[in-house]
Structure 1
Amino acid sequence: MAVHFHLNTPLLDSVSMSKRVGTTVYLKMENSQPSGSFKIRGIGHLCQQLAKQSKGVVCASGGNAGMAAAYVARKMAVSATIVVPSSSPQTVIQKLKDQGAKVKIIGKVWDDANAEALRLAETDGLTFVPPFDHPLLWQGHASMISEVAASLGLTAKPGAVVVSVGGGGLLCGVIQGLKDVGWTDVPIVAMETEGADCFNAAVKAGRIVTLDDITSEAKCLGAKSVCRQAFEYSKCDELTIISELVTDQQALHAVETFLDEERVLVEMACGAALAAVYSGLIHRLQDDGRLPLDLGPLLVIVCGGSSIDMDQLTTLKNKLRN
């Protein structure tokens, strides 16, 4: 029997968020995972399958995927090399080292770091851990929806699921999970910030596009291109995926409001999903007829984030409010 590195995370109903939306809001608290985010589900599952006899793992990540890979590698007693872009906060680099990982800083954005991780996998014979684009990751992430179904009961399915999108790994995992429990008719609201919007850009263009740069402060959403599977799902008639954008300011406001009301600090990437509630977007989608007016329970994936602390929050406030 496989060992799970992830926890069965709490499913909380938020009174204050429910009041705002006019229907019960359930929060799947992936921020309480040992590595700080949902990433440990997929990365733990992938490493179980691929890295048991490995010389070590290598992963390119500005934060959460690297934290998950470092944590899992430590638990499996294999070495971890995490390649991070120079935009990664110092606190993240320190946390990775605390997990026992070797950290290399390469390039300005994730794509640069990823090229180096692929090179190291080739030259040093390490197991490459992709942060979002692999079927084993999606299979692992799907477990969060199975847990929700077990908590709510299969008959009490959500009216919609709200999820942040970076490279698309969480979105693919959520869709896999909805398929596993027979909830494919549940609409998904896929949230990104302006300037880290590779999925929305692909949906609008009708093809995968590569962003020129990541200009959003939600660095953990910062993939220049979305994974192919996420794009293919966006064209699938059996699924309803509503791709929406919020500003960095709206994502930050969501982070602060969530901290005030729920007493939990999450990063900007997670704030994108929370902003669907706090910015009134869910109501607008209902007014536009894209979500039903008599919306069933709203499931919000609180994807978490290991790259936020009070100093980082203050820095973001100063940067985005000037």
Structure 2
Amino acid sequence: MPLHLPTPLLQSRPLSLHTGKTVWLKMEALQPVGSFKIRGIGAVCEAYAAQGKTRFVSSSGGNAGIAAAYAGRQLNIPVTVVVPETTTARAKALIEQEGAEVIVHGASWMEANARAQSLLDDSTAFIHPFDNADMWAGHGSLIDEVVNAGVDFDSVIVAVGGGGLLSGVIAGLERNGLGRLPVLAVETLGADSLAQSVAAGQRIELPAITSIATSLGAKAVCKNAFALTQTHAIRCATVTDLQALQACEQFLHDHRVLVEPACGAALAMLYSADRALTADFQRPLVVVCGGATATLEQIQQWRKQAS
């Protein structure tokens, strides 16, 4: 039995009225760990457990670490998560709540990841937060559920951090014969490594993450995500931190679910961003990827700072 749950698929009346489109929401924020991450990470952890691994080590800005910790607890396997200094106190508390050890190291995920790699041995499996083909296949199960529900969607809107969810969405589309559908990949300015890579024509590394959406805080997307921009109908978009935060607050008002700014970035494409990018989308599917690491008070505080 998989570690993730099938999540609700809702037609958003508020967003449909706001945009004049039929907007579908895949509610990944309602996973037991608060985000889509458990789909792919759960599948990877189960595979490693079957191989006889007795310890998991992960590196994470928050949500992947929570998912790895949850998977380890469900599988009775100890977990260590290395997080960067930018990780919120809430994210660290949620990882520890699942029984995992938390190590804080480095100014960004890349430094934390290097430390995590140093902790590996033959009995330990490394749980990458976004760069693993089996993980992408697991994330793609959210598309399987939408297709099985018989919903006729014509596009997907998804937030991009390291590119794991984007890779998973496209894997799910392709295995369901929907590889032609356009995907809008959304990042916040200051964490827009994919958009900058596409503009440059090569995969680039940001000098630093300056967005408050630290869940999108990979200074470089995985190679697979960039490669997909060459073969799939992926459109890149960026929103401001303020737009993402406003989307979080409006989504809470409209649907009574709190998501973090990384998820707000995708929602902002329908609430407040440049409509030209979605002009030809009539039935968009928005992956409400969730995120458990930000409180309402923190979102409101960030919004004051961003205004």
Q: Normalization by structure 1: what TM-score?
A: 0.93
Could you say which residue in structure 2 is the equivalent of 1:146?
144
Deviation at 1:298, TM superposition (A): 0.9
1:20 to 3, 18, 39: 18
1:75 and 1:272 mapped to 2: Cα distance?
Answer: 31
Matched, 1:38 2:36: yes
Out of 1, 4, 13, the position equivalent to 2:2 is 4
Which 5+ residue runs of structure 2 have no aligned equivalent? none
Residue in 1 that maps onto 2:302: 316
Deviations 1:190-236 (A, max 9, x none): 00000001111110111110100000000000000010011111011
Q: What does 1:77-156 align with in structure 2 at a 5 Å threshold?
A: 77-122=76-121, 125-153=123-151, 156=152
Number of the residue aligned with 2:155: 160
Query: Distance between the aligned counterparts of 1:207 and 1:24, measured in 2?
Result: 35
Residue in structure 2 matched with residue 284 of structure 1 by the alignment: 276
Q: Distance in 1 between matches of 2:158 and 2:225?
A: 13
Write the distance in 2 (CA, Å) between the matches of 1:285 and 1:213.
Answer: 27
Alpha-carbon distance between aligned partners in 1 of 2:38 and 2:66, rounded to the nearest angstrom:
8
Report what 1:54 is aligned to.
Answer: 53
Q: Deviations over 1:90-142 (max 9, x none)?
A: 111111111000010001111111001111124x7421000000101100001
What is the distance in 2 between the residues matched to 1:280 and 1:117? 37
How far apart, in 2, do the equivalents of 1:142 and 1:207 lie?
Answer: 25
SS at match of 2:107: coil
- What's the offset of the Cα at 1:172? 0.3
Deviations for 1:276-306, whole angstroms, at most 9, x for unmatched residues? 101143x3225xxxx52xx331100000001
Structure 1 residue matching 2:119: 3-state secondary structure? helix
**Partner of 1:148: helix, strand, or coil?**
helix
Offset at residue 21 of structure 1 (A): 1.7
Which secondary structure state, in structure 2, belongs to the residue aligned with residue 128 of structure 1? strand
Aligned to 1:232: 227
Separation of aligned partners in 1, 2:203 and 2:273: 29
CA RMSD after TM alignment: 1.2
Question: 1:160-199 alignment to 2 at 5 Å?
Answer: 160-199=155-194
How far apart in 2 are the matches of 1:275 and 1:35?
Answer: 23
Task: Kindly provide the CA deviation profile for residues 122-180 of structure 1, in whole angstroms up to 9, marking residues without a partner as x.
Answer: 4x742100000010110000100000001125xx2x12100000000000000000001
Report the 3-state secondary structure (helix = DSSP H, G, I; strand = E; otherwise coil) of the residue aligned with 2:184: strand
Matching residue of 1:304: 290
Counterpart of 2:267 in structure 1 is 274
SS of 2:41's partner is helix
Task: State the Cα distance separating 1:82 from its structure 2 match.
Answer: 0.6
- Deviation >2 Å, runs of 4+: none
Distance in 2, matches of 1:186 and 1:78, equals 39
How many pairs does the alignment contain?
A: 306
Gaps of 5+ in 1: none
TM-score, normalised with respect to structure 2: 0.97
Q: 2 CA distance for matches of 1:192 and 1:28?
A: 18
Determine the C-alpha separation between the residues in 2 that align with 1:152 and 1:17: 21
Deviations 1:33-88 (A, max 9, x none): 01110000000111111233112101011111000000000000000001011111
> 2:44–2:134: 8 Å Cα contact kept in structure 1?
yes
Residue in structure 1 matching 2:213, options 208, 218, 234: 218
- 1:234-269 per-residue CA deviation (whole Å, 9 max, x = no partner) reads 011xx2100000010110111111111111110000
Partner Cα separation in structure 2 for residue 198 and residue 121 of structure 1: 28
Partner secondary structure for residue 243 of structure 1: strand
